[in-house]
Amino acid sequence: MVWVKNKTKSAPESEQAVVAIGEDLQKKAAQSEDQLKTTGLNHWIRLRDDWIFWKDDTNQNMTKLISDQHFYKIKKDLLAKGKLFEDTSFPLEQAMGNLGNFKNQRITWRRPHEICSDGMKPQFLVGDSTRLNVKGLQRGRYWLVAAMISLALNPVQLKKIAPEDQSFDYGEYAGIFRIRLWQYGQWQNVIFDDRVPTLLNSDEITYAHSQKKEVFWSVLLEKAYAKLHWSYDALNGGNESEAMEDFTGGLTIIHDPKAHRKLFKIADTSFKRSCLMTCNIKSAQDGSGDQTKFNLYRHHAYSITNFSRIASNTIPVVRIRNPGGTTRSGMELIVTIHQNGKI
């Protein structure tokens, strides 16, 4: 892949008019909501007043617009040969980047059936793929897990991006999966194998996983998202609004509680319409620490999982889910919204 930049106001006609600026533009381009022009395998993406050139290179790791028919053909060929898919375009060395929080530990690929034990059978999607089944291990990745928890509350949308015609059942399983993610104004099929990073001397999955060890939709969704961004390490410190856009193809709206007297009504109505919702706490102006007196953390993404009113319908409350909670009481909290916008 080649990333280049042109200072002109319009898309240039050729590659000669541009200056290389490096792969750091990939993340900026992924966040763009402006204009995309496509001619053949060459793409121009507008970021403010500049045009970014993306040249498709099949020898590099980049998500392609692979049709469902092509996916089924690959899977059919693998089943006929009795082989499991290995995604050579996303090797372990690239996937782990600089290893992030795992620099001093050895990581290896494992497939779900190698992780499950005690007779457990791996499953992709199950009927109770609810908010409580998704958990994060690293605080820098809670933004993505918070978005996945919100996604789990919308089973229709979840099955749209993680098609349920995929399984680990005999005769159907070939080690290949696909996740649909919204990028550059269109849905893309991310094709990948089901090997996920685990600690070498245990079966512990290093990143997001399900509370139920045998359920793997969140694990595989994270891998697809990591492939889209070139590595797992690239997912550190992101924004949940970006992930929700990639999961839905929609646009996110950010509300300040103090700016909307009717925010609870707006949010409750949106939630009932299956909108994905998260929240976070701003930095304290007095310089106090990250942890509040209610054991909530600033700069920490939380999923909104329900709205209600208590005390004869007079007090609005919001149920939020902590992506890093280790117990049910630590996972979900009930918070009250006062008229002044404070929680």
**Residues known to be catalytic:** 300, 322
- In terms of DSSP H, where are the helices of the chain? 25-30, 68-81, 92-95, 112-115, 142-152, 155-161, 217-228, 240-248, 263-272, 328-331
114 in Cβ contact with 203 (< 8 Å): yes
122 in Cβ contact with 166 (< 8 Å): no
Which tokens sit at 308? 């209600």
Burial of 23: CB neighbours in 10 Å, binned 0-12, 13-18, 19+: exposed
Residue type, 91: P
Residue 184 to residue 314: CA distance in whole angstroms: 44
- Sequence-distant (6+) residues with CB within 8 A of 136 are 142, 144, 145, 207, 208, 323, 324
